[in-house]
Structure 1
Amino acid sequence: MSRETDGVDEAIAGELRLMDPSVRMSKSLARQLLDPEFVEVGASGRRWTYEEMLQALPEMDGASEDGPRYEPSEMTGVMLAPGLVHVTYETVIGGERARRSSLWRKREAGAGWQMYYHQATPVPPEAM
């Protein structure tokens, strides 16, 4: 496997971990996966910062073991530059569909990949 493929695979694995209820419930696990400069523009249009997301994540959809879970599909990634991966995919949770895009970065050798930016765009039923 090439270093480029490894980076894409690691970013996708991180993306999937962030959908895991046990990670969403744990600030320490989520902190490992979110870059300190993280920003998200959610499907609601709200802009989230790193600290806001860490506080809210345990209460958000997908955080309960017995509640609705994110169902990702069509997940793909591309290395944009050394240490920067773009991941795109779609999710369904509770009947709501969204197209998602994330930037993952690795700041230094030996460090893990972290989500730097995330954008979710709702897909209206008529567009399905």
Structure 2
Amino acid sequence: MSGESDDVGEAIAGEVRLMDPSVRTSPSVARQLLDPHFVEVGVSGRRWTLEELLAELPVMDGAAKDGPCYEPSAMVGVLLAPGLVHLTYETTIGGDRARRSSLWRKQSAGAKWQLYYHQATPVGPQGM
């Protein structure tokens, strides 16, 4: 069981790092946390590839050190299979809330966990 909690903990640590403005403004650091086949469906519904996200990440919400930052809450994870962790949580930034789901994968023993897929869904004013 401790291996599972270690894997989930590493995925959570990576997810939180991706919300850090210093990571968001450094494409080379962000790239290390993202799987080569990364895909995201953002809050707007837009589909992002790895290269598209890396190009825009430095100017997206949460990137300015003196601006609003992502505030994650209720983050939980589960090991779905060896090398695959699913995280779910909510974020708030600038008063906007979103429910989020991420898949982190580790390609081989000794490899680092990387974000493979992420999806965000806006939460309306009533929290529905």
TM-score by length of 2: 0.98
Which residue matches 1:115? Answer: 115
Alignment match, 1:53: 53
Give SS of 2:64's match. Answer: coil
Runs in 1 of length 4+ with deviation above 4 angstroms?
none
SS of 1:118 mapped into structure 2:
strand
Provide the aligned length of Structure 1 versus Structure 2. Answer: 128
Instruction: State the 1:3 CA deviation.
Output: 1.3
Letter in 1 for 2:125: P
CA distance in 1 between counterparts of 2:4 and 2:88 reads 16
- State the identity %: 76
Deviations 1:46-104 (A, max 9, x none): 00000001101001000010000000000000000000000000000011000000000
Residue aligning to 1:92: 92
**Partner residue, 1:32:** 32
Alignment TM-score, normalising by the size of structure 1:
0.98
Give the root-mean-square deviation of aligned CA atoms: 0.9
Give the partner amino acid of 2:84. L
5+ residue gaps, structure 1, are none
Q: Does 1:43 align with 2:43?
A: yes
